[in-house]
Amino acid sequence: MSTVETATAIDPFHVEIHDDQIAELRRRIAATRWPSKELVDDRSQGVQLAALKALADYWTNDYDFGRLEERLNDLPQFTTEIDGVDVHFIHVRSQHEDALPLVMTHGWPGSVIELLDSIGPLTDPTAHGGKAEDAFHLVLPSLPGYGFSGEPTEVGWYTGRVAQAWAELMHRLGYTRYVAQGGDQGAAVTDDMAHQGPDGLIAVHMNLLRAALGNTSNLPSQSDEEKAALEEIGTFRTSGFGYFLEQTTRPQTIGYALLDSPIALAGWMLDHDTDSYYKIARAFVDGQPTGGLTRDHVLDNITLYWLTATGASAARSYWEGGRATALAAGKAPPAVTIPVGFTTFPGEIFRAPRSWAETLYPTLVYFNKAEKGGHFAAWEEPEIFAQELRGAFSSLRNGRSS
């Protein structure tokens, strides 16, 4: 039936950004009304004036606004309507036929932009120090309400519903055996996928232990590592937790500024965690990027949020998270029965010890501490990140061929 065909159709997608949108953005940045300088010499009052002024300067004078369109349109992009939302995704098939299909989910304040530099190493490993057997077919969807995906027009799009949409997406793409990966909000989506256990999903990997951010009461707290992780979570919750609370409770309120002021948007997005903030601030103030967190990359992501005007809709995903947590109170999700891999990056909000990953995922088959990288692991250290995915999923490939 043509109706059904239409509803599950996958359409090629190209990004088109109009010159007047860019001109308007430039004009607003130039017209920014700045506050006075913070009264401290560090991040303890938030994003520093010098960092944001350097960003504004680079954005209007040096940044190439054509980059974003070019980078995205160089890749095979598609949209498909799932559960009432147009899902935008990048789909890069490896030339290696036996490649393992992998759906990777970005987080906030990220987007598919975070994951672009891991596409090469993951889909074309032989060109990036890997072997043909390490190859992945890669699916990178934009979360509903983020980037070029449509905004949900009703409540209920919590990560569990996104997880179901991703299972449907992988099914539509014809993948019957695949793995999933995520950090940040993407870790929540991936965790939900693991609990739901859709047909075809054989394993997951995460680089944020998201459940521990909400509740550590059931986690071991004796070892030095465990104590340190608890302390790091405590620090996160008292040093810039406002964005989390505001987006979880009042996404619409903060949405007004995020839609109306590019500098407000940039400030809000830079203020995620201490480690990534200082790395990004250093890139703008001193021109010294850390790994892939370059000025251009950071601005690709912020420009994407601005042009797609998704500040409010992206913030709503936190509200959905809060609502889902409240609704699920006391109800344990079905146990995860598929293999789980986890990598702790040293600059992450907290360095999850193996004992925590094991407690939350009894089917943990891979745990590693990466040598470098922070919250935006794939973005900052795409090679190390890709290496982790190869390591985490290699045993499943063996299982596949045996």
Which residues contact another protein by CB under 8 A?
32-36, 38-40, 45-49, 52, 151-155, 238-243, 245-261, 263-264, 266-268, 271, 309, 311-313, 316, 319
Task: Say which of 175, 277, 305, 318 is annotated catalytic.
Answer: 318
Cα–Cα distance for residue pair 132/122, rounded to 1 Å: 10
Looking at the Cβ atoms of 65 and 243, the one nearer to another protein is: 243
CB atoms within 10 A of CB 61: 8
Looking at the Cβ atoms of 155 and 328, the one nearer to another protein is: 155
Extract the runs of DSSP E, i.e. beta strands, from 228-369: 340-344, 364-369
Looking at the Cβ atoms of 46 and 382, the one nearer to another protein is: 46
Which positions ≥6 away from 6 have C-beta within 8 Å? none
Secondary structure of 275-295 as H, E, C letters: HHHHHHHHHHHHCCCECCECH
Looking at the Cβ atoms of 34 and 74, the one nearer to another protein is: 34
- The nearest distance, CB 311 to another protein, in angstroms, is 7
Sign for the CA dihedral angle at 42, 239, 353, 143 comes to negative
Three-class SS of residue 250? Answer: coil
- The nearest distance, CB 255 to another protein, in angstroms, is 4
HSE (side-chain half, CA atoms, 13 Å) at 64: 8
Catalytic residue list contains 297:
no
User: Helix crossing, 274-286 with 295-308: angle to 10°?
Assistant: 110
- The nearest distance, CB 29 to another protein, in angstroms, is 10
- Check residue 298 and give left, alpha or beta (phi > 0: left; psi -120 to 50: alpha): alpha
Task: Say which of 134, 184, 192, 275 is annotated catalytic.
Answer: 184
Q: Rounded to the nearest 10 degrees, how much is the dihedral formed by the CA atoms of 357, 358, 361, 366?
A: 80
- The nearest distance, CB 50 to another protein, in angstroms, is 11
**With contact defined as beta carbons under 8 Å apart, do 29 and 58 qualify?**
no
C-alpha pair distances (Å), 188 with each of 63, 104, 214, 256, 379: 33, 12, 12, 26, 18
Looking at the Cβ atoms of 278 and 356, the one nearer to another protein is: 278
- Where does residue 88 rank: exposed (0-12), middle (13-18), buried (19+ CB within 10 A)? buried
- The nearest distance, CB 86 to another protein, in angstroms, is 14
Catalytic residue list contains 318:
yes
Looking at the Cβ atoms of 255 and 291, the one nearer to another protein is: 255
- The nearest distance, CB 276 to another protein, in angstroms, is 14
Catalytic residue list contains 18:
no
Q: Mind telling me the catalytic residues?
A: 184, 318, 375
